[in-house]
């Protein structure tokens, strides 16, 4: 039996369109899931509902025995067992790192509190900064303090809502690496929401894709890459080239080989130098504009190139 159960959740704001549509998801204890979706797809609303901070219209959410109720059904909204960290998470500006992390534990026994804060500072590698104020820290360190504060209450579930969007790519990669290790050690169940597939994959190999309030697909990156359920899921991984005269059928740039003779003729109209290959924009003789990968970096703008691909790599949507 899974640990976090989200069952057929629906939500509309006022009388508008539903922003979460019949959404169901299960997650085992101690597992990390990345939920990827574009802006406005309903990710934040869903997380707030899971945290018990937003009313749902229908559906059920439970953590084993604990049923998450709507805030309008409770005196104090939210649950210690479910903690939400988001990008603009506010730290107390005039409290130190140590005080920020210990704040939620104010009513707890002092000895327990000191131990918990000490172990979190260690896990988060924040010991050298424990007496600093938030403004004296980098963006990544500030987010670690926010996560430390959320973890201080020993939640069963940690919900991360794009917590790294203000960080640069290198900071994000390093922070995700550190956090992954820590989540594993703490055996906390994590739902990580992002619009960035790279971040999602860096965090875990359990992926869910949300679009227009619905769960589109759940699986490993490889499964979704090979058999994407729709165009959005496929495009998260790469550009798709539409094949002329084949309805809803596409080929990925990486699956196209380039030749100097024989194949579908095309003309290079643009060349971009990327890390692992030159990306060429080509105009095919059947009138399509495609992206292809020139791994040998042998073609220039204006050159003629011939394209071939294996039909088994074509992706067709129903
Ligand atoms: N409090 C609110 N009242 C009315 N509409 C809202 C409210 N909060 C969000 N919405 C709308 O619900 C839809 C989903 O928003 P939500 O923030 O959940 O999506 P998201 O996937 O998290 O997007 P983003 O990544 O941009 O935060 C959007 O159309 C948004 O405008």
246-254 contact pairs (CB < 8 A, 24+): 246/314, 246/316, 247/316, 248/316, 248/317, 248/318, 249/314, 249/315, 249/316, 250/314, 250/315, 250/316, 251/309, 251/313, 251/314, 251/315, 252/313, 252/315, 253/279, 253/290, 253/291, 253/292, 253/293, 254/293
pLDDT value for 164: 84
Say how far apart CA 56 and CA 163 lie, in whole Å.
23
Cα–ligand 1 centroid distance for 17 (angstroms): 11
The per-residue pLDDT for range 78-105, each reduced to its tens digit, is 999 999 998 776 799 999 999 999 999 9
> Using 50, 70 and 90 to split pLDDT, how confident is the model at 206?
very high
Q: Does ligand 1 come within 6 angstroms of the Cβ of 43?
A: yes
Say how far apart CA 14 and CA 214 lie, in whole Å.
19
Q: Does ligand 1 come within 6 angstroms of the Cβ of 15?
A: no
pLDDT value for 1: 61
The per-residue pLDDT for range 171-187, each reduced to its tens digit, is 889 889 989 988 998 89
Cα–ligand 1 centroid distance for 56 (angstroms): 14
The per-residue pLDDT for range 2-23, each reduced to its tens digit, is 799 999 999 999 878 999 999 9
Nearest CA among 286, 285, 282 for reference residue 245: 286
> What is the predicted ipTM?
0.95
For residues 255 and 248, the answer to whether their CB atoms sit within 8 Å is: no
- Per-residue pLDDT, averaged over 185-191, amounts to 93
The mean pLDDT value of the chain amounts to 93
- Per-residue pLDDT, averaged over 159-167, amounts to 88
pTM for the structure as a whole: 0.91
Q: Report the percentage of the chain scoring pLDDT > 90.
A: 84
**What CATH number labels 4-231?**
3.40.50.300
- For ligand 1, atom 3, name the residue with the nearest CA: 13
- For ligand 1, atom 12, name the residue with the nearest CA: 19
Domains of the chain, residue spans: 4-231, 238-316
Structure tokens at 80: 């210690």
pLDDT value for 190: 97
pLDDT value for 89: 66
Q: Do 4-231 and 238-316 have matching folds?
A: no
The per-residue pLDDT for range 234-245, each reduced to its tens digit, is 999 999 999 999
> Using 50, 70 and 90 to split pLDDT, how confident is the model at 134?
very high
**What CATH number labels 238-316?**
2.40.50.140
């Amino acid at each position: 039996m899974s640990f976090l159960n989200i069952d057929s959740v629906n939500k509309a704001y006022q009388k508008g369109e539903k922003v979460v549509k019949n959404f169901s998801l299960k997650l085992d204890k101690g597992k990390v899931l990345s939920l990827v979706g574009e802006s406005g797809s309903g990710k934040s609303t869903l997380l707030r509902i899971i945290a018990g901070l937003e009313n749902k219209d229908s559906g059920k959410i439970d953590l084993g025995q604990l049923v998450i109720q709507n805030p309008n059904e409770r005196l104090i909204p939210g649950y210690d067992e479910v903690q939400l960290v988001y990008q603009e998470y506010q730290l107390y500006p005039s409290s130190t790192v140590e005080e920020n992390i210990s704040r939620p534990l104010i009513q707890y026994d002092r000895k327990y509190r000191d131990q918990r804060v000490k172990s979190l500072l260690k896990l988060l590698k924040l010991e050298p900064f424990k007496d600093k104020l938030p403004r004296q820290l980098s963006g990544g360190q500030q987010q670690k303090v926010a996560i430390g504060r959320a973890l201080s209450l020993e939640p069963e579930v940690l919900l991360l809502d794009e917590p790294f969007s203000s960080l640069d790519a290198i900071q994000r990669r390093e922070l995700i690496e550190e956090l992954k290790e820590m989540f594993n050690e703490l055996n906390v169940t994590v739902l990580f929401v992002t619009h960035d597939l790279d971040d999602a994959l860096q965090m875990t190999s359990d992926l869910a894709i949300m679009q227009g309030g619905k769960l589109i697909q759940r699986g490993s990156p490889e499964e979704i890459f090979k058999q994407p359920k729709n165009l959005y899921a496929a495009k998260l991984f790469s550009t798709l080239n539409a094949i002329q005269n084949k309805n809803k059928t596409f080929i990925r740039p990486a699956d196209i080989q380039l030749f100097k003779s024989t194949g579908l003729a095309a003309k290079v109209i643009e060349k971009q130098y990327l890390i692992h290959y030159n990306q060429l924009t080509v105009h095919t003789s059947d009138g399509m504009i495609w992206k292809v990968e020139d791994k040998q970096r042998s073609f220039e703008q204006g050159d003629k190139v011939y394209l071939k691909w294996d039909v088994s790599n074509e992706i067709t949507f129903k």
